[in-house]
Amino acid sequence: MKTQVAIIGAGPAGLLLSHLLDQQGVESVVLERASRPHVEGRLRAGVLEQGTVRLMRQVGVHDRLDREGLIHQGVKLAFNGRVERIDFVRQTNTPITVYGQTKVTADLIEARLARGGRIEFEAPVKAIKNYLEGRPRLVFDQQGQGRELICDFVAGCDGQHGQARRSIEGQGVQLFEKSTPFGWLGLLAEVPPVDKELIYANHPRGFALCSMRSPTRSRYYLQCPITDRVEQWSDAAFWDELRRRLPPAIAERVVTGPRLEMSIAPLRSSVVEPLRFGRLFLAGDAAHIVPPTGAKGLNLAASDAYYLSRALAAFYADRRTDLMDRYSQTCLRRVWGAIRFSWWYTQVLHKFDDDPFSQRLQSAELLYLTGSEAARTAFAENYVGLPFEPFE
Ligand code: APR
Ligand code: PHB
């Protein structure tokens, strides 16, 4: 099998890349380890920056997004028993769109296949060969048989535990990592959300987040020790703890119901530098993980896909190599911008220790954030998404 760009992974990064390349006349094949139902069933985050929405529109995959995406003009912050609001539209003229990553993925797969695109499911990549010199070759399995895909370039969009990340180990890679001793316990339920906007809560017992997937489906999160197991948490214990961490006026409005899903996600960051190794490019979670607090993971996957598609298209159109040469640098600037924001926001909202000094600092930080026009604007411009860099 042969193609121009071999894409490993049918997550948001790989799928969006395949659409963007197609639009610019570049051929690709996506190889995905898991089955289509598995990929479409994975529950992930749900906040789209305007830039991500623009990319979905650009590739013409926006019908359901326009119908079901919830436009939010701001978010709420609960702390010290009060609730404050930051209005994104007022501060930056830009809203966010609440739309599950599960739907983003399903929409991109459906449109790609409808347009004759090639996505091979249940086709795990076992090795990436010749990416430093010569013609790259992907060795993968399909229906118990070893197969090969020969290509000009490889896009490693296969997430944090994928083959791309494994392949580059020991090649002068720099790894930057930070983790916390806690995670997020998430619960999904078919109940109306407690508020029409997201509520981020700082509480002496730990952080809580009220989010949603639709007007009838809620997604809630609680900070928990990373050593906790889902089996330790009954639905009742989850709802009780959530209500304890919210201001009383909000807590009493929480509608509870049985879980559709419950899981624990770690809060950590990890960045690989550089993102390019000869003809292999890393994008999305394969390149970087951000803590979920700022909801940046999916949006960074989308901006990486955009930068990579532009760089590869410029090569095929004009044999330009300068955008590929700058790919790492261009992506990493936006990645570190998002990590800076996500870590700051994580530190302001979570319980790190019992030190009253830390608690006073958090309180001062939140009062300044919500009380100062300048701070609200700085928050809003990061939350709605830092701009993409223009290409010359
Ligand atoms: N061969 C083929 N596919 C693979 C392999 C492999 N060896 N290893 C992993 N994959 C697939 C996974 O099954 C998954 O479908 O790569 C895909 C990677 O997708 P994501 O994990 O969704 O990563 P990405 O597209 O970068 O999207 C990042 O997803 O994890 C969230 O919070 C994160 O929102 C962010 C977004
Ligand atoms: C989610 O709805 O899953 C979600 C929302 C906001 C975040 C993180 C996750 O910051």
Please tell me the distance between residue 291's alpha carbon and the centre of ligand 2 in angstroms: 11
The answer to whether residue 308 is domain-embedded is yes
Q: Is the CB of 119 under 6 A from ligand 2?
A: no
The answer to whether residue 285 is domain-embedded is yes
* Domain residue limits at 110: 5-70+98-177+268-351
- What is the rounded average pLDDT of the residues 154-163? 97
- What is the rounded average pLDDT of the residues 330-337? 96
The terminus-to-terminus CA distance of the chain in angstroms comes to 34
- Which is the catalytic residue, given 99, 221, 345, 383? 383
383 catalytic? Reply is yes
Q: Determine what percent of the chain is predicted with pLDDT higher than 70.
A: 99
- Which is the catalytic residue, given 19, 72, 203, 350? 72
Q: Determine what percent of the chain is predicted with pLDDT higher than 90.
A: 96
**pLDDT value, residue 134:** 87
**pLDDT value, residue 288:** 98
Please tell me the distance between residue 293's alpha carbon and the centre of ligand 2 in angstroms: 7
The answer to whether residue 387 is domain-embedded is no
- What is the rounded average pLDDT of the residues 337-355? 96
Both tokens assigned to 193: 């959300």
**pLDDT value, residue 390:** 74
Identify which ligand lies nearest to the alpha carbon of 341: 2
User: Domain total for the chain?
Assistant: 1
CATH code of the domain in which 341 resides: 3.50.50.60
- The tens digit of pLDDT for each residue in 229-282 reads 999 999 999 999 999 999 999 999 999 999 999 999 999 999 999 999 999 999
Neighbouring C-alpha atoms within 13 Å toward the C-beta of 159 = 14
Please tell me the distance between residue 40's alpha carbon and the centre of ligand 2 in angstroms: 18
The answer to whether residue 275 is domain-embedded is yes
**pLDDT value, residue 353:** 93
Identify which ligand lies nearest to the alpha carbon of 155: 1
136 catalytic? Reply is no
Q: How confident is the model at residue 311 (pLDDT cuts 50, 70, 90)?
A: very high
Residue 31 in this model has a pLDDT that exceeds 90: yes
The answer to whether residue 367 is domain-embedded is no
Collect all residues with Cβ–Cβ distance below 8 Å to 113 and sequence separation of at least 6.
119
**pLDDT value, residue 392:** 55
Q: Is the CB of 217 under 6 A from ligand 1?
A: no
The answer to whether residue 262 is domain-embedded is no
296 catalytic? Reply is yes
**3 state SS of 35:** coil
**DSSP E strand stretches across 57-136:** 70-72, 74-79, 82-87, 96-98, 118-120, 125-129
- Which is the catalytic residue, given 19, 203, 296, 350? 296
- The tens digit of pLDDT for each residue in 74-129 reads 999 999 999 999 999 999 999 999 999 999 999 999 999 999 999 999 999 999 99
- The tens digit of pLDDT for each residue in 190-231 reads 999 999 999 999 999 999 999 999 999 999 999 999 999 999
Query: Are 36 and 109 spatial neighbours (Cβ–Cβ below 8 Å)?
Result: yes
Q: Is the CB of 156 under 6 A from ligand 1?
A: no
The answer to whether residue 92 is domain-embedded is no
Side chain identity, residue 328:
S
Collect all residues with Cβ–Cβ distance below 8 Å to 317 and sequence separation of at least 6.
24, 25
Residue 391 in this model has a pLDDT that exceeds 80: no
Q: Mutate which of 42, 43, 44, 47 to test ligand 2's pocket (most atoms within 8 Å of Cβ)?
A: 47
Query: Are 106 and 40 spatial neighbours (Cβ–Cβ below 8 Å)?
Result: yes
Which residue CA neighbors atom 3 of ligand 2 most closely?
Answer: 45
Whole-number Cα distances in Å, 263 to 83, 120, 140, 159, 299: 27, 28, 30, 19, 22
Nearest-atom index, ligand 2, CA of 212: 2
Q: Is the CB of 32 under 6 A from ligand 1?
A: yes
The answer to whether residue 215 is domain-embedded is no
- Which is the catalytic residue, given 99, 200, 220, 345? 200
Q: How far apart are CA 51 and CA 94, in angstroms?
A: 10
Q: Mutate which of 43, 184, 221 to test ligand 2's pocket (most atoms within 8 Å of Cβ)?
A: 221
Mean pLDDT of the chain: 97
* pTM over cut 0.75: yes
387 catalytic? Reply is no
Cα-Cα-Cα-Cα dihedral sign, residues 349, 350, 356, 357: negative
Residue 171 in this model has a pLDDT that exceeds 90: no
